[in-house]
Amino acid sequence: MEKVLSGIRPTGYLHLGNYFGAVKNFLALQDNHECFFFVANLHALTTHPDPLSLSSSVKSVLAEYLACGLDPEKSTIYIQSDVPEISELYTLLNSLAYKGELEKCTSFKEKIRKHEENINAGLLTYPVLMAADILIHRAHKVPVGKDQEQHLEMTRNFAVRFNHRYGVDFFPEPQAFNFSQQLVKVPGLDGSGKMGKSEAEGNALFLRESNESIINKIKKAKTAPSPTEPNSVKPIEIENLFMLMGLVSSKETIQYFEDKYNDCSIQYGPLKMQLAEDIVKFALPIKEKIVDLEKNTDLLGKIAKLGAEKARESANETIKGVKNLMGLKSIWL
């Protein structure tokens, strides 16, 4: 059976970008694949989070995973730092990763541009840790959003390099995955790039956001002048609103507003109200479950413990194989 793996950093609450870029695919894959889904708390360390808020964020992402429908009976769900084999593989892979390729990585360049004061080694080797996450279970498919495409390419490079160096076919070449064939980039509400946890206030819509807040953010979302020529190309801000509709609204609703846009009779107020209503309807059942699950610390603890045990079993097999191949099998123990 093909193996699937993915993770999300506990750097804040999950938003619609995380859901439609990643989690939605996790749900569809867990019925017929061997799945591993984890909370990537080691990856969060690069930005020096406050320890208390990091551990509370781990709990909230775990609750959010379950509220979205991840099922511990079908998938192995764990916290990254509970599986020390990942850090071991990270160490072992580090010497296969070259400074030049790590420095060229887009996410590294973006991070150092934004945080000149905190250019640490963890940021530079972030793609190696991510490769360790994936290769530790020898996963084939990695459901992620478009922003992770380059990290997957680097993971494949490290896997191929390892296989080549040790003359074996040990690691598969993992592929970024989305059911719609294309990786998704959910736009933010401020008319700029993608929806993100650390973008400006009002850019992201969180799964647990109150109905009023969803409506207010959508009301404030950037628009552009209405079209004056039939069938004109949509400006990016309007394209973004239609893209969000594509995720949560019915085909008929989308067609209705497409037609209005194309005959120049569109009013953005009603479009935004409809979009807000459809997002509220989509998020409500998930939000209710998040609230319940977060209170159930015992259940969260049991799931994390079971997940760590299962993940460590699989991880151990890989580590053993890697150490044997690298000449690190102990001769004394």
Shortest separation between residue 80's beta carbon and ligand TYM, angstroms: 8
Shortest separation between residue 50's beta carbon and ligand TYM, angstroms: 18
Assigned token pair, 222: 């950037």
Number of residues that bind ligand TYM (CB under 6 A): 25
Q: Residues 111, 137, 194, 208: which binds ligand TYM (CB under 6 A)?
A: 194
Q: Is 76 exposed, middle or buried (0-12, 13-18, 19+ CB in 10 A)?
A: buried
Taking each helix axis as running N to C, give the angle between helix 268-295 and helix 51-68, from 0 to 180 degrees, rounded to the nearest 10.
Answer: 110
Shortest separation between residue 132's beta carbon and ligand TYM, angstroms: 9
Shortest separation between residue 216's beta carbon and ligand TYM, angstroms: 20
Distance CA 237, CA 243 (A): 10
Direct distance between the N- and C-terminal alpha carbons of the chain, in angstroms, rounded to an integer: 34
Q: Residues 3, 4, 6, 271: which binds ligand TYM (CB under 6 A)?
A: 6
Nearer to ligand TYM, 236 or 273 (CB): 236
- Please give the residues from 11 up to 50 whose contact with ligand TYM meets the rule CB under 6 A: 17-18, 21-22, 40, 43
Could you say whether residue 58 binds ligand TYM (CB under 6 A)?
no
Nearer to ligand TYM, 173 or 263 (CB): 173
Could you say whether residue 186 binds ligand TYM (CB under 6 A)?
yes
- DSSP classification of residue 234: P
Show which residues are catalytic: 111, 194, 197
Shortest separation between residue 17's beta carbon and ligand TYM, angstroms: 3
Determine contact, residues 206/14, Cβ cutoff 8 Å: yes
Q: Residues 67, 178, 191, 196: which binds ligand TYM (CB under 6 A)?
A: 196
Closest residue (Cβ) to ligand TYM?
A: 21
Nearer to ligand TYM, 127 or 227 (CB): 127
Element (H, E) at 79: strand 75-79
Nearer to ligand TYM, 72 or 145 (CB): 145
260 Cβ contact partners less than 8 Å away, ≥ 6 residues apart: 266, 267, 271
Nearer to ligand TYM, 123 or 142 (CB): 142
What are the φ/ψ torsions at residue 105 (nearest 5 degrees)?
-65, 130
Shortest separation between residue 296's beta carbon and ligand TYM, angstroms: 24
- Please give the residues from 120 up to 159 whose contact with ligand TYM meets the rule CB under 6 A: 130, 133-134, 142, 144-145, 147-148
CA atoms within 13 A on the CB side of 247: 25
Could you say whether residue 7 binds ligand TYM (CB under 6 A)?
yes
Assigned token pair, 243: 């893209």
Nearer to ligand TYM, 194 or 289 (CB): 194
- DSSP classification of residue 331: S
Distance CA 237, CA 239 (A): 6
Stretch that binds ligand TYM, among 1-9, 49-57, 229-237, 318-326 (CB under 6 A): 1-9
One DSSP character per residue, 162-220 reads: HHHHHTS--S---EEE-TTSS----B-TTSSSB--TTS-TTS--BTT--HHHHHHHHHH
The footprint of ligand TYM (CB under 6 A) covers: 5-9, 17-18, 21-22, 40, 43, 130, 133-134, 142, 144-145, 147-148, 184-186, 194-196
